[in-house]
Structure 1
Amino acid sequence: MARKSYFLLAVLSILIGSGVSDWNILNHRKKNNVVSGSGLKTYCESWRINVEVNNIREFEFVPQECIGYIGKYMSSSQYKEDCERAIEECQVYLSSCCNSLKCADGKEAWIFDVDDTLLSTLPYFKTRGFGGKKLNITSLEGWMEKCKAPALDPTLRLFNEIKGRGYKIFLISTRRESLRDATVDNLIKVGYHGWSGLILRDLNDENKRVKHYKAEARKKLVDEGYNIWGIIGDQWSSFDGNPTAKRTFKLPNSLYYVS
């Protein structure tokens, strides 16, 4: 019981944070009556962009003043277009790797994240204040067990294109091993079929930082003789460390930071 409680606390601190946002990122500006109206919108857009380019790191929650803005962005056509554009760049790179329909030799691999890359957790976070409320890991895992996460359509198309070219696809997720059946069921339900491996966190991975856990998972693949051509994910921790891929592609996600 003590080990489980420790794990829940560790995941909670890694994924989003330990509480509702009571830290006001704009306090110093408010004191000078600088931020209001369009100024706040501009600042929140700047905050979002700096999250995406990894200038703002280790944030524990979406700033209280920006929750509404981030919620609107993640629910908007702009978010969908940003995902589409990222996937288009993956497809351009994929076409440059080989020109034939099937060109991989059996040891050429691509890696995908699961949450907010293949499957969207946005329906869950809509009910949780778009990252501004305390994350209840039991609640999140309970939602995952219901297998209701929708596919990200651009990623589904890319997944099928990569598979059609003969590459091996590996899914590396921060989900726990206890969620394997639910994860597989959800993936199949929304149209993902034919991956070569689904790697989830087991007991030995519980206390590792995500970037270390994922780097170790990639090393095992390389040690097995795989060449990693690409990684697609929504978190910078999916790309950190060695070995890495020839190219990495990040999908937007301003709801939480996983390190």
Structure 2
Amino acid sequence: MNMKAVVLAVATILVASQCHGSEYEFYPLELRSDGLTVHYPPEVWCPSWRLAAEAHNYINWKTVPQKCAEYVESYIQGDQYDSDSKYVNQQAYFFAKSIKRNENDVFIFSVDGTVLSNVPYYSKHGYGVNPYNATVYDAWVLKGEAPALAQTLKNYNNLLSLGFKIVFLTGRTVDKKAVTEANLKEAGFHTWEKLILKDPIAYNGQNAASYKAAERKKLTKEGWRIVGNIGDQWSDITGRNVGLRTFKLPNPMYFIA
């Protein structure tokens, strides 16, 4: 028997033994024949919850499920969050490189959770398990100590090197302009074309998606072409005038409509 035949025979035996010895069903998505519901443990259920939330299938949720607190903390503090952020930012950069740039081209970035990390805040509030407290969060914002999200900062610098102009479009209100400018610069974001903050009077009663869509419409009326639009919330990148392409960064800690 030649060597090729030996290898084939050994491989066949290994595959056969694994199949007969494994409890894995060949059709794992089939309904159970006994009619019972499968109750998944948190280590299985929580990644499914995050997938549904990140894909915008599960919406309008208020807090991270209590049983997923440890999972979300591990995701945020581990390598996966950074790797996911890197991958999304890379795709934005690759897209930017692929198009012919015009002088009026801009990339829009959201701020909190996109360029400035609010993980230091959420790490003290259950990584999203605790209900959102606007007063406490605003007090943290006013400290101006939010660090940069490293992968977004790298992408930001790459886009600048390609000649794109940057617009920051944030749900922070206009009274936080000075602290936001200072925090952005301290974190490494030194150059931008516009920093757009929310006027609570003009947008009274409107949600984040409506506000951001209206501000993007103003940009296009001013003659800007929105090439890319990057945010950690679906409300950052949905609605009208979203741009040529949108890029959704991961954030399983909260949902903003």
Superposed pair shares fold, TM > 0.5: yes
Shift of 1:164: 2.2
Once the two structures are TM-superposed, the CA of residue 239 in structure 1 deviates from its matched residue by: 1.3
**Distance between the aligned counterparts of 1:40 and 1:210, measured in 2?**
31
User: Would you say how many aligned residue pairs link Structure 1 and Structure 2?
Assistant: 221
Q: What's the counterpart of residue 23 of structure 1?
A: none
Q: Shift of the alpha carbon at 1:33?
A: 9.5
Name the CA distance, whole Å, in 1 between partners of 2:247 and 2:151.
13
Query: 1:124-175 deviations in whole A, cap 9, x for unaligned?
Result: 0000011111222111111111111110111111111212222221111011
Q: Matched residue of 1:90: which SS?
A: helix
Distance 1:60 1:184 in 2: 29
Shift of 1:34: 5.5
Q: Which residue of 192, 197, 200 maps to 2:194?
A: 197
| C-alpha distance in 1 between matches for 2:154 and 2:108 | 15
Cα contact 1:67–1:130 (8 A) shared by 2: yes
Matched, 1:169 2:171: no
Matched residues in 1 for 2:87 and 2:37: separation? 38
Stretches of structure 2 that go unaligned for 5 or more consecutive residues are 1-35
1:136 paired residue number: 133
The code of the aligned residue for 2:163 comes to: G
Q: Distance in 2 between matches of 1:59 and 1:151?
A: 26
- Superposed displacement of residue 104, structure 1: 3.1
* AA partner of residue 70 (structure 2): G
Q: Does the 8 Å contact 1:104/1:166 carry over to 2?
A: no
Equivalent residue, structure 2, for 1:208: 206
- Equivalent in the alignment of 1:92: 94
Alignment of 1:41-120 (within 5 A): 41-98=43-100, 103-105=101-103, 107-120=104-117
- Structure 1 regions of 5+ residues with no counterpart? 1-31
Secondary structure of the residue that 1:159 maps to in structure 2? helix
Question: Conserved in 1, the CA contact under 8 Å of 2:62 and 2:131?
Answer: no
Equivalent position to 2:180, from 163, 180, 183: 183
Question: Partner letter of residue 137 of structure 1?
Answer: A
2:255 to 231, 254, 257: 257
Give the letter aligned to residue 177 of structure 1: V
Runs of 4+ off more than 3 Å = 32-36
The answer to whether the 8 Å contact 1:114/1:172 transfers is: yes
Q: TM-score, normalising length from structure 2?
A: 0.83
CA distance in 1, matches of 2:137, 2:241: 31
- Indicate the residue corresponding to 2:241 in structure 1: 243
Q: Let me know the Cα RMSD of the aligned residues.
A: 1.5
* Letter in structure 2 aligned against 1:50: A
Does the 8 A contact of 2:167 with 2:196 survive in 1? yes
| Secondary structure of 2:191's aligned partner | coil
1:221 pairs with 2:210: no
